[in-house]
């Protein structure tokens, strides 16, 4: 997929994104797990907003690739490490931001080296009705490197890659 490719979710897909986000929020409440979004989540509704953005970005990317997200399978867990699998079986972890010039960011506390992810991808958009744009991809070995490690707002250590170094998805 070429960087800059965009898609809009159809109304039924928007409803599915809302349902996926609600399911994540319910699971988090039952498990007493704090939100996994980057930042401290201090703003009211921050985690719910992030759950919705994440669900929208996953559905948008999967729509572009003509595949299904892992999170909608019957019996699939909510805390999945892989958001989808490409037709060749490669695992993808989809990251989202509402900022069109935002960076690909992976929290140190969330990164799990044993997970069989082949790609990180960045999608940008602002919600279910917005256009979602594929900003690029990066392999974990290229992203998870000491020179990319930084502290963001003093809250969380993250691996960060600017869009300019992300690549098209082969």
Contacts of 127 (CB under 8 A, 6+ apart): 52, 53, 56
> Shortest CA distance to 169 belongs to which of 116, 122, 103, 104?
122
Q: Average pLDDT in the 107-122 region?
A: 82
**Is residue 46 scored above 70 in pLDDT?**
no
Mean local confidence (pLDDT), 99-114 = 85
Instruction: Provide the 3-class DSSP secondary structure of residue 52.
Output: helix
C-alpha to C-alpha distances, 101 to 22, 133, 140, nearest whole angstrom: 27, 11, 21
Average pLDDT of the chain is 85
The pLDDT, as a whole number, for residue 73 is 60
Rounded alpha-carbon distances, angstroms, from residue 73 to 22, 102, 164: 16, 30, 34
26 or 3: which carries more pLDDT confidence?
A: 3
Q: Residue 130 pLDDT more than 90? A: yes
* pLDDT greater at residue 78 or residue 110: 110
């Amino acid at each position: 997929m070429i960087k800059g490719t965009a898609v809009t979710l159809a109304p039924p897909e928007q409803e599915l994104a809302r349902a996926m986000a609600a399911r994540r929020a319910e699971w988090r409440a039952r498990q007493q797990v704090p939100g996994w979004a980057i930042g401290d989540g201090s703003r009211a509704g921050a985690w719910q907003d992030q759950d919705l953005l994440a669900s929208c970005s996953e559905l948008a990317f999967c729509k572009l690739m003509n595949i299904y997200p892992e999170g909608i399978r019957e019996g699939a867990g909510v805390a999945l490490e892989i958001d989808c699998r490409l037709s060749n079986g490669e695992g993808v972890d989809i990251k989202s931001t509402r900022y069109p010039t935002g960076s690909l960011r992976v929290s140190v506390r969330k990164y799990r080296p044993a997970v069989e992810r082949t790609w990180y991808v960045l999608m940008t958009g602002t919600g279910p009705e917005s256009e979602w744009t594929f900003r690029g991809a990066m392999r974990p070995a290229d992203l998870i490197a000491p020179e990319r490690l930084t502290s963001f707002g003093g809250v969380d250590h993250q691996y960060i890659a600017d869009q300019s170094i992300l690549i098209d998805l082969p």
